[in-house]
Structure 1
Amino acid sequence: MPDKASPEIEEAYASIVARIDAAKAYDEQKNDEQRQRVLASPGVISIETLQGKPIPSRRWCIPDWIPDRQVTSIYGDGGTGKSLLAMQLATACALGSPWLGMDVNSRKVLYVSCEDDCDEMMRRQDLINRNQSVHFRDFEGRLVWLDRSNSENPEMMSFEPGKRGVVTGFGREVEVMAEAVGAQLIIIDTLADVFGGNEIDRSHVRQFIGFLRRLARKIDGAVVFLAHPSAAGMKDRGYSGSTAWRGSVRSMLTFEFPEADTDEPSNPDLRVLTRRKSNYAASGTVLELRYAAGTFLASSKAGPEPLLDQLSEDGIFIRALRKCLDAGECPTTARNRGQEYAPKLVKRICRRDTENISVQRLEAAMNRLLDSGEIIRQRHWKSGTPLTPKDYDVSTWRQPKK
């Protein structure tokens, strides 16, 4: 403004300045209100507000195996008996009795069957009841079956090209049924029937698992689905399609026949339940089972091996791995490589050292050592990528030993 201005100009100038200041104050007020609305949005937590609050304990359906408010997958090839295994899980939770020797947190259960009809389930349940010394009437509404084996379209979520997945009428029916029953465990048998998307599409997979996770939180319990592994999954780690199946669940179990220690046929009554992935417990825990009188029984303890046993088996695996490499063998982590699969190879080459250790426990040792970096995959200029101890000089591999 000029040094000497008329009163009218001074008044107009002051009015403009006042308006500008008022506009700034209004904008600041609106911005502050917007910030407060954002900070008050659901899911936004300023962590100083947690000071003094008790730390919530993690809740489990089966401690270390099946977490509450999350989704767990159980993969197994056709004919292994995973439906029977899941029915035993449902029975144990409904009655509050142990499952495969493990404690359970008792609850009501909804079992969704899209493969076996009521008659088949009754036959299996009768054998489970006999093993538990209970009767059908003893369940008193704590275990409810939803038979959809004759349904032409039991999908719980459908997908159209270029659009987000939509929860179907059957998906909503399961949700309403679980609430009506008061179920805190929903078992879905099987994934192939209820998933209407592309199993190798990461977006489809994550949307579907997201729906199941919301369902688990709504019932304040656990959701477990059974699945057949893909052809590639049977050769390596046992899951289906996209790696999002493994990444999205918080616990992934596999149920399979044991790897044969020799070329002789394995016992057809034996099975292995493995905790392949867990976000809240140690992965690699193996439970050996035996089929008898129509049910599966635990033939080994379910808890993790003692630390000293793990360290001993880890050491045995590394020493045996060196012997295999020195013999010119090519140990690998790929299951589809047959006798070159490292756990089977060290079992075959170092029989005396590993005679009291199963292939499954050698596999668990290999996974621990890979996770810790004690063993690695090394590229050899001529002969592939052998699995070796981290300090192994791969340049001398497959050279004559002096």
Structure 2
Amino acid sequence: MADDNTPWDEMSNAPGGPPKEGPTVVNFAAEKAKRADPKARKSQFFTATMLDGKDVPVRNWLVAGLIPSGTVTLMTGDGGTGKSLLALQLATACALGKRWLGKTVAGGRALFVSAEDDEDELHRRLADVLDAEGAGFDDLDQLALRSLAGEDALLTELDTRTGKQKATDLFSELDAFLTDLAPALVVLDTLADLFPGNENDRAQARQFIGMLRGLAIRHDCAVVLLAHPSLSGIQNGTGMSGSTGWHNSVRSRLYLERVIQGDDEPNPDARVLRTMKANYGPTGAEIALTWRNGVFVADEPETGLDRGARRSKAMRKFMELLRLFTEQGRDVNSRAGRYYAPTIFAAHPEAEGITKNAFADAMECLFSQGAIRDAEVDRHRRKTTIIQEVE
């Protein structure tokens, strides 16, 4: 086989390389010359056979299943939900080698960069976090902080003519500092302060995330970028921020949201952290949290019996409300929008505290069981799709 030292111009004759006879579409001699050019990209073309005999790399996680290392995780949450505090708890857990929300965290150095909170606010929040961990500031020699509040915090500059971005002096300063720090985690708070472009521009979003991913790769760390969701992202429960380019460019996305039932918030201290995207693991996971004494604490996990009972209740109530609405001549549908059944049912006075997400889960179960169906009907001389009970 061809190993890492095999000259590119000899690879056409190397075992596993292109056949000796016949032309090849790759000019290996030219590729070899590119590799010697200091101006060339660091990435290189290689044949898959060069991987033969090498150990398959182990995937590294900062938090298994939630936050992968070597890439960017986007954590969104509306203003005031506590995403900055939650991320500061994560950085502290990383520096102390402790658990976060009941999850094991790969220990190591951490950097928390805030463009929103000043040093006094970071001090106050850290005091609460350390009190909850039973630790002191003298235990946090592995955590570095920086407040950019009140300063120009942009990490890139945008050329409005070409739409391309280049690193600012602050980005270069951050890059150099990470070289010395060798962190396991970098938290950047928040996107709106750090990014100079249009959040609805997909190309700009992808380029910015690409530059942050370059940091994650170069320094072999997890980068967690905090952001506010758009209004539509809040309303439809996805927590999306601006263009879909943000969601599509990252490899993991978490969404911290309040627990709302209809128009009410029964417990203002309750939150849910949802896994909205996980290229390297399952999506749909939820961690129920409660704010206590200045920090977020994970609630006791539901048992399988409790979960089954909660789903059964939501399915029963979904059917009751669907029948009620049908009797009243009121249509609901299974698509997001004004007549989305889970949203309407969660706001109903007889919802019994069942949330929109619980109704959405119940609706999918009822569809899979064949208890309900999508039906096309005529309404005001137009075709529309509504949910109907299967007789």
Task: List gaps (5 residues or longer) in structure 1.
Answer: 1-30, 394-400
Are positions 1:82 and 2:74 aligned together? no
Is the Cα contact below 8 Å between 2:345 and 2:356 reproduced in 1?
Answer: no
How far does the alpha carbon of each residue in 1:123-148 deviate from its partner, in whole angstroms, 9 at most, with x for none? 010011111110000112x1000111
Distance 1:356 1:199, change over 3 A: closer
| Residues 357-372 of structure 1 aligned to structure 2 (within 5 Å) | 359-363=356-360
Query: In 1, Cα distance between the equivalents of 2:364 and 2:214?
Result: 32
* Match of residue 104 from structure 2: 103
* Match of residue 284 from structure 1: 284
How far does the alpha carbon of each residue in 1:130-183 deviate from its partner, in whole angstroms, 9 at most, with x for none? 11110000112x1000111121x2100121223221111111111111222221
Distance 1:263 1:184, change over 3 A: closer
Query: In 1, Cα distance between the equivalents of 2:357 and 2:199?
Result: 28
* Match of residue 139 from structure 1: 140
* Match of residue 119 from structure 1: 120
Query: In 1, Cα distance between the equivalents of 2:55 and 2:371?
Result: 39
Is the Cα contact below 8 Å between 2:254 and 2:274 reproduced in 1?
Answer: yes
How far does the alpha carbon of each residue in 1:305-330 deviate from its partner, in whole angstroms, 9 at most, with x for none? 96x98888778767765655544340
* Match of residue 231 from structure 1: 231
Which 4+ residue blocks in structure 1 deviate beyond 3 angstroms? 31-34, 37-43, 262-265, 308-327, 340-351, 354-371, 373-381, 383-389
Distance 1:297 1:363, change over 3 A: farther
Is the Cα contact below 8 Å between 1:158 and 1:166 reproduced in 2?
Answer: yes
Query: In 2, Cα distance between the equivalents of 1:296 and 1:186?
Result: 20
Is the Cα contact below 8 Å between 1:284 and 1:367 reproduced in 2?
Answer: no
Query: In 2, Cα distance between the equivalents of 1:300 and 1:333?
Result: 32
Query: In 2, Cα distance between the equivalents of 1:317 and 1:80?
Result: 26
Query: In 2, Cα distance between the equivalents of 1:375 and 1:86?
Result: 41
Is the Cα contact below 8 Å between 1:332 and 1:385 reproduced in 2?
Answer: no
| Residues 3-402 of structure 1 aligned to structure 2 (within 5 Å) | 35-37=27-29, 42-140=43-141, 142-151=142-151, 153-163=152-162, 164-236=164-236, 237-260=238-261, 264-301=264-301, 324-326=321-323, 327-328=325-326, 329-334=331-336, 337=338, 340-346=339-345, 359-363=356-360, 380-382=377-379, 386=385, 388=387
Distance 1:330 1:43, change over 3 A: farther
- Percent identity of equivalent pairs: 35
SS in 2 for 1:196: coil
Task: Kindly state the Cα deviation for residue 230 of structure 1 after the two structures are TM-superposed.
Answer: 1.6
Give the structure-2-normalised TM-score. 0.78
Query: In 2, Cα distance between the equivalents of 1:148 and 1:183?
Result: 19
Distance 1:224 1:58, change over 3 A: same
Distance 1:250 1:367, change over 3 A: farther
Is the Cα contact below 8 Å between 1:71 and 1:250 reproduced in 2?
Answer: yes
SS in 2 for 1:146: strand
SS in 1 for 2:153: coil
Q: What amino acid sits opposite 1:106 in the alignment? A: G
Is the Cα contact below 8 Å between 1:189 and 1:226 reproduced in 2?
Answer: yes
Distance 1:370 1:123, change over 3 A: farther
Q: What amino acid sits opposite 1:80 in the alignment? A: T
Distance 1:43 1:301, change over 3 A: farther
How far does the alpha carbon of each residue in 1:1-22 deviate from its partner, in whole angstroms, 9 at most, with x for none? xxxxxxxxxxxxxxxxxxxxxx
* Match of residue 9 from structure 1: none
Distance 1:57 1:330, change over 3 A: same
The answer to which structure has the higher helix fraction is: 1
Give the structure-1-normalised TM-score. 0.76
How far does the alpha carbon of each residue in 1:311-363 deviate from its partner, in whole angstroms, 9 at most, with x for none? 887787677656555443404443x64xx543344557797xx9696544444
Distance 1:279 1:199, change over 3 A: same
Larger radius of gyration: 1
Task: Kindly state the Cα deviation for residue 265 of structure 1 after the two structures are TM-superposed.
Answer: 3.9
Distance 1:363 1:59, change over 3 A: farther
Task: Kindly state the Cα deviation for residue 257 of structure 1 after the two structures are TM-superposed.
Answer: 0.7
Is the Cα contact below 8 Å between 1:274 and 1:286 reproduced in 2?
Answer: yes
More deviation, 244-253/225-234:
225-234
Query: In 1, Cα distance between the equivalents of 2:47 and 2:309?
Result: 46
Superposed CA RMSD in Å reads: 3.6
Query: In 2, Cα distance between the equivalents of 1:344 and 1:256?
Result: 16
